[in-house]
Amino acid sequence: MSRQSVAKAHQKIQELAWEPMYHQPVSQYGTDYTFRKAQKKDPLKQVLRSYFPMQEEKDHRVYGASDGAIRGNMFRQVQERWLEWQKLFLSIIPLPEISAARAMPLLFRNVPNPELHNGQAIQMIDEVRHSTIQQNLKRLYMNNYIDPAGFNSSLRNFQNDYCGTIGRQFAEGFITGDAITAASIYLTIVAETAFTNTLFVAMPAEAAANGDYLLPTVFHSVQSDESRHISNGYATLLMALADEGNHQLLERDLRYAWWNNHRVVDAAIGTFIEYGTKDRRKDRESYAEMWRRWIYDDYYRSYLVPLEKYGLVIPHDLIEEAWNQIWHKGYVHEVAQFFATGWLANYWRIDPMTDKDFEWFEYKYPGWYDRYGKWWEQYNRLSTPNGHHPIVAEDVDYQYPHRCWTCMVPCLVREDMVMAEVDGQWRTYCHEACRWTDVEAFRPTFQGRNTPNMGQLIGAREWETLYHGWNWADVVQDMGFVRDDGKTMVAQPHLNLDDPKKLWTLDHLRRMPNLQSPNVLLNQMTDEERAKFHADYIRGGPAGRPYRGE
């Protein structure tokens, strides 16, 4: 269709909407937002007559590339380090995608603008596309990559592994709670507009550098849809801003959504890009550099700040703090170190960092070696079984961290950990912003205002508590992270598949001390013990070093 006829066609399909005369459509999702004033045009102007053939053409390109990759033996040039981390990423991402599809109906009754519903319906089916095309990519990896373990058990793993649980916020946050908080602010205004840049643009570039050109093929095709979804979010945001009563809620939700996305997405994608790559050219961008460009400049300064004049209160402090965490407090490095500490509880292989990696990290993040170098040398030393335990049970100057009750990433930047007694339980939080999210934002009143539609944080949020007192072999078996010989673990702290003696098995884990839940232990302490524990914890770090006194 020509551009002009698309405009005419879009105008024509506006005649489809009608005001009910006999029954109101069912209203199943509440919001504390109001939309009394503004009307906004559908920014997509997408008509299905042109949409379906366009998507089909994009599919042709994706599946053509897939065939080409197999025929061209792409997997002979793929870095195993990279593909191993895809076992985590591709176990997570299909759920957020499909959840975004499921989120669209939350907006129908709450954003009273039929013109926007057309765009939301198209976003819904886009998201079905993304979820299944990503599942298909994972299937292709499983069939063609040397080690299918972890891909073959992907969706079971994702659902019972603590990393999967962290990632699940990036899905469940879209579909529950206050409809606008979830489906508009968290999903489209922050997750899609800010963080898909690192997810679907920065990360594929790194994939290509590691010999994997299928991930860029699939995810750039996905990202070409995201730009339309961003327009959906922007239109809804402008409508919300027109009602002054929404400003307080917008401020709350931007703070929550920004901080949670930073905690979750930067943890995962930062680790994939920095620790999942073999590309150590000094002029390739680090995650921090990418973040500064894609998120700080493009999202914060170019997208958010101009909205200030419409009354949007922007969380400048939390944006600067996120940067502070990434650049000064080593957030991504702390997360990668924790993933590697707990390699045995996961379903992919994490190989040790080499001298070349060390050199690159020191160049990009001056001071890295002093903080993390020794620990990674220990990781290397302990990577194959030789009468010792996995690193988590060895004395390597690392204190196993407490879980953040809100974002569920552990409290890794030790100095920032805060505690609160909530609903009869002592909880730990990785940062004051996560305490605020649980204690103040996700509540039925906010700053004296009734917020009856705000959601709740629920679930068994500390993974370790489920396995408190268990032997590690039983933990791994319970989660199903065992290969088809019944004893060799899916996860390994190296990439060597040649020598069976170098592969860790459940037998090695039997000899380890039992797993202890830090939160259970915290709640068993007296008030004095807990206060001292906290005082010591926040003096620990960096790199998880326990406080050993002055």
Partner 1 sequence: MTTATERSVPKPVFTDAEAGAKEFPDSKARRFNYFTPQKRKQTHYEDVTVEVQPDPRHYLAQGWLYGFSDGKGGYPLDWTVLKAWGSDRPEPERGPGTGGQGYEWPAHGWHEFRDPNEEWELSLYRYNANVVRQLQANVDAAKQAKSFGQWNPNWVRFVQQNVGAWMHVDHGLGLYLFANANRRGPTNMHNTAIAVNSMHLIRAAQDLALYQLTLSEEVEGFDGSAHLETWNSDPAWQGVREIAERLTATDDWAEAVFAANVVFQPLVGELFRSQLVMQVAPRNGDFVTPTVVGAEEFDFSERDLRYTKAIFELLSNDREFAEHNSRIMNTWLADWTGQAVAAARAMQPLWSQPDAKPIRFEDALDRVKSRFAGIVEELSLDTPKELER
Stretch touching partner 1 by CB under 8 A, among 74-82, 337-345, 377-385, 542-550:
74-82
| Separation between Cα atoms, residue 276 and residue 462, nearest integer Å | 26
The two structure tokens encoding residue 82: 């990279």
Q: How many CA atoms lie within 13 A of 540 on its CB side?
A: 23
The verdict on 509 binding partner 1 (CB under 8 A) reads: no
Counting contacts by CB under 8 A, is residue 15 touching partner 1?
A: yes
Within 241-280, which residues bind partner 1 (CB under 8 A)?
A: 278-279
The pair of structure tokens assigned to 418 is 């805060």
* Cβ-proximal residues to 474 (8 Å cutoff; 6+ apart), any chain: none
Sign of CA dihedral 508, 509, 514, 518: positive
- Which span (18-26, 34-42, 419-427, 541-549) binds partner 1, by CB under 8 A? 18-26
Beta carbon nearer to partner 1, 160 or 324:
160
Smallest CA-to-CA distance from 141 within 63, 210, 72, 66 is with 66
User: Does residue number 71 form part of the binding site for partner 1 (CB under 8 A)?
Assistant: no
Interaction residues for partner 1, span 51-70 (CB under 8 A) = 52-53, 55-56, 59, 63
Strand boundaries in 77-126, DSSP class E: none
Does residue number 535 form part of the binding site for partner 1 (CB under 8 A)?
no
Given a contact cutoff of 8 angstroms between Cβ atoms, the answer to whether 258 and 190 are in contact is yes
Interface with partner 1, residue 456, by CB under 8 A: yes
Q: Is 385 in the site for partner 1 (CB under 8 A)?
A: no
> Judged by CB under 8 A, does residue 483 bind partner 1?
yes
Report the distance separating Cα 348 and Cα 334, nearest Å. Answer: 19
Is residue 354 at the binding interface for partner 1, with CB under 8 A as the rule? no
- Determine if 424 is a binding residue for partner 1 (CB under 8 A): no
Min dist CB 466 to partner 1, Å, is 5
What's the CA gap between 370 and 372, in Å, rounded? 6
Residues in Cβ contact with 230 at an 8 Å cutoff, skipping those fewer than 6 apart: 188, 192, 193
DSSP secondary-structure letter at 342? T
Binding residue (CB under 8 A) for partner 1 from 163, 191, 209, 332: 209
- What is residue 284's three-state secondary structure? coil
Residue 260: what residue type? N
| 196 touches partner 1 (CB under 8 A) | no
Residue 525 binds to partner 1 (criterion: CB under 8 A): no
Range 281-320, binding partner 1 (CB under 8 A): 281, 283-284
Asked if 26 interacts with partner 1 (CB under 8 A), we say: yes
* 344 touches partner 1 by CB under 8 A: no
Cα distance between residue 83 and residue 216, in whole Å: 13
By CB under 8 A, residue 459 contacts partner 1: yes
Applying CB under 8 A, does 457 fall inside the site for partner 1? yes
**What is the nearest approach in angstroms of partner 1 to the Cβ of residue 521?**
10
Sequence-distant (6+) residues with CB within 8 A of 256 are 181, 186, 437, 441, 442
- Cα dihedral 368, 371, 376, 382 in deg (nearest 10): 170
Return the closest-CA partner of residue 169 out of 471, 404, 380, 485.
404
Burial class (CB in 10 A: 0-12, 13-18, 19+), 387: exposed
Compute the C-alpha angle 262/402/264, nearest 5°: 15
Q: How far is the CB of 52 from partner 1 (least distance, A)?
A: 4
Touching partner 1, residues 153-182 (CB under 8 A)? 153-156, 158-160, 162, 165, 168-169, 172-173, 175-178, 182
Q: Is 25 in the site for partner 1 (CB under 8 A)?
A: yes
Binding segment toward partner 1, per CB under 8 A, in 293-301, 384-392, 466-474, 531-539: 466-474
As measured in angstroms, the least distance from the Cβ of 328 to partner 1 is 28
Side-chain-facing half-sphere of 125: CA atoms under 13 Å: 11
Is residue 24 close enough to count as binding partner 1 by CB under 8 A?
yes
Q: Binding to partner 1 by residue 347, rule CB under 8 A?
A: no
Q: Which of 22, 366, 423, 526 binds partner 1 (CB under 8 A)?
A: 22
Check residue 111 for interaction with partner 1 (CB under 8 A). Answer: no
Tell me the CA end-to-end span of the chain in Å, nearest whole number: 73
Tell me: does residue 520 bind partner 1 (CB under 8 A): yes
Asked if 20 touches partner 1 (CB under 8 A), the answer is yes
48 binds partner 1 (CB under 8 A): yes
Phi-psi region of 330 (alpha: psi -120 to 50; beta: other; left: phi over 0): left
Residues 6+ apart with CB under 8 A from 283: none
Binding of residue 220 to partner 1 (CB under 8 A) = no
β pairing state of 449-450 and 445-446: antiparallel
478 binds partner 1 (CB under 8 A): yes
- 83 is a contact residue toward partner 1 (CB under 8 A): yes
Nearer to partner 1, 122 or 319 (CB): 122
Instruction: For residue 411, state whether it binds partner 1 (rule: CB under 8 A).
Output: no
Stretch binding partner 1 (CB under 8 A), from 13-21, 312-320, 332-340, 346-354: 13-21
Pick 387 or 460: Cβ nearer partner 1: 460
When asked if residue 438 is in the footprint of partner 1 (CB under 8 A), the reply is no
Interface with partner 1 (CB under 8 A), residue total: 129
Which of 405, 370, 202 shows the shortest CA–CA distance to 291? 202
Q: Which stretch binds partner 1 (CB under 8 A): 96-104, 385-393, 525-533, 541-549?
A: 96-104
- How far apart (Å, rounded) are the C-alpha atoms in residues 393 and 268? 24
CA distance 368 to 216: 29
110 binds partner 1 (CB under 8 A): no
Stretch near partner 1 under the rule CB under 8 A, chosen from 348-356, 420-428, 472-480, 526-534: 472-480
Comparison of 98 and 396: residue with beta carbon closer to partner 1: 98
Interface of this chain with partner 1, residues 391 to 410, rule: CB under 8 A: 408
Side chain identity at residue 151, one-letter code: F
284: left (phi over 0), alpha (psi -120 to 50) or beta: beta
